[in-house]
Structure 1
């Protein structure tokens, strides 16, 4: 590592900052995210920190809770999604109840609360909300515990599938709102919410278009496939937030959108370069 004036890409975001920093260029990777605890600068959007916009790093006393919340979401979503796709002929998703309460629910909710302490409104809203989703999902699926499914089937002229379909469509709307906030972030972070939104839409439709109480198989499996992709992207963003120069020999590319602040800066830098002008 070498010490050099603070003149990398952060300088374009913070032109008044002229500090010395330790440079770790990851071999010149233009997709790299530079982690720092310097409170006087603003960092680029980064899915590994659940940050869709420019942000200030949290105090050095606080760890980054986003990888924990993303991992909790990813594992719980992955297990449910592969069941929905018909893997190993598993017909009932009851095994997800334990994960929904313990990992995807409680742990993700805690990560969302810690994001509040870090000052990350988006991360706190997203992780806490999906933690609540998994807890509520576990409550619905708990066999014999809350009796929600049985009560709806007995007292309502519409079957449980209609009620559950509306429940999933509500989460589709909420996820779409979060998706709008990621349009200026990175491809990896946007993809996580895009795949999740498609999963909620297709799964909601699979219950609304159920036949005699039987979920529409094609829509359910398509929704499960998108949910599986969402889980993979959540793990990818979690790894991006975990891997840095202290514990990894490689960096996880985050790939900023060309219309984002970072994309425009790079495009301007290329246009101003002597090689381009020649």
Structure 2
């Protein structure tokens, strides 16, 4: 993920795959959270979360490990695991394996903890291309809104989180588009924001 604009490297950039796996899945779920698609559509998200949001990001994270990118490895493996957690939560609850009726604000607190993790990952983007800064900025705020919405039952917060999640997922898909297009053309065609030079 660090090297989203560098050209001429012999290895393929795994961030292109990880970002689209994250982005596409996030947009679909966020459309439901925002109330633009029916809540009954959540079962459609489950296989996408397992296959594309989960598995593809885990694969991308493993490849980030191979190219010695600590940030990319941590991000893709973690959010790949998030999608597996979310899909399994829906599957288990929907099939009576677990009972969430007495869970109270626990799911909301879990989302808030994901927000804390994303907040410190966002700080890591201060030295990365601007597209990653924007993705992680919108993501930690999305988790904050969704977590507060789930913990308090405030539907307005969940809808706001869904709307911001659409933006976040769209930014991730744009980042993937830029990496793929720039690599294909061998030059910067799609701007992703230069990596800041910090002392």
**Which TM-score applies when normalising by structure 1?**
0.65
In 1, Cα distance between the equivalents of 2:157 and 2:114? Answer: 17
Q: Which moved more, 1:159-168 or 1:65-74?
A: 159-168
In 1, Cα distance between the equivalents of 2:121 and 2:127? Answer: 12
Residues 130-149 of structure 1 aligned to structure 2 (within 5 Å): 130-142=79-91, 143-145=93-95, 147-148=97-98
Query: How many pairs align?
Result: 195
Point out where structure 1 has 5 or more consecutive residues left out of the alignment.
Answer: 1-31, 38-59, 154-158, 211-215, 265-278
Residues 1-278 of structure 1 aligned to structure 2 (within 5 Å): 33-37=5-9, 60=10, 62-142=11-91, 143-145=93-95, 147-148=97-98, 150=99, 152-153=100-101, 159-210=102-153, 216-244=154-182, 246-247=184-185, 251-256=189-194, 260-261=196-197
**Which TM-score applies when normalising by structure 2?**
0.89
Secondary structure at 2:51's aligned position in 1? helix
Deviations 1:3-35 (A, max 9, x none): xxxxxxxxxxxxxxxxxxxxxxxxxxxxx9441
In 1, Cα distance between the equivalents of 2:126 and 2:136? Answer: 10
Q: Does the CA contact (< 8 Å) of 1:161 and 1:207 recur in 2?
A: no
Q: Does the CA contact (< 8 Å) of 1:76 and 1:100 recur in 2?
A: yes
Higher relative contact order (CA 8 A, sep 6+): 2
Distance 1:88 1:172, change over 3 A: closer
Larger helix proportion of the pair: 2
Secondary structure at 1:244's aligned position in 2? helix
Deviation at 1:68, TM superposition (A): 0.5
Q: Compare CA radii of gyration and give the structure with the larger one.
A: 1
In 2, Cα distance between the equivalents of 1:225 and 1:236? Answer: 17
**What RMSD over aligned residues (CA atoms) do the two structures have, in Å?**
2.2
4+ runs of 1 displaced by more than 4 Å?
143-146
Deviation at 1:208, TM superposition (A): 1.1
